[in-house]
Amino acid sequence: KKEKESGQEQKDREKNRETRQNKGQENTILKRDKDREREIKRKTEKKRQRLEDQERKTER
């Protein structure tokens, strides 16, 4: 059996829920940014590799 909670307890619980949701969104955003950075690094690495290959071909 659950006793009726005070208004303060209810507010605290809602605040905690909001905090958890915000934390989740932050983590999602951080993860997305990290993925984007990784993707950019990968693409620049590919470009660099391609340029090096082209330079080698023109040297021959």
**pLDDT tens, position by position, 4-58:** 768 889 999 999 999 999 998 999 999 999 999 999 999 999 999 999 999 998 8
- At 3, the pLDDT band (50, 70, 90 cuts) reads low
HSE-CB at 51 with a 13 A cutoff on CA atoms is 6
User: How far is Cα 37 from Cα 25, in angstroms, rounded to an integer?
Assistant: 18
Q: Where are the domains of the chain?
A: 31-60
- At 60, the pLDDT band (50, 70, 90 cuts) reads confident
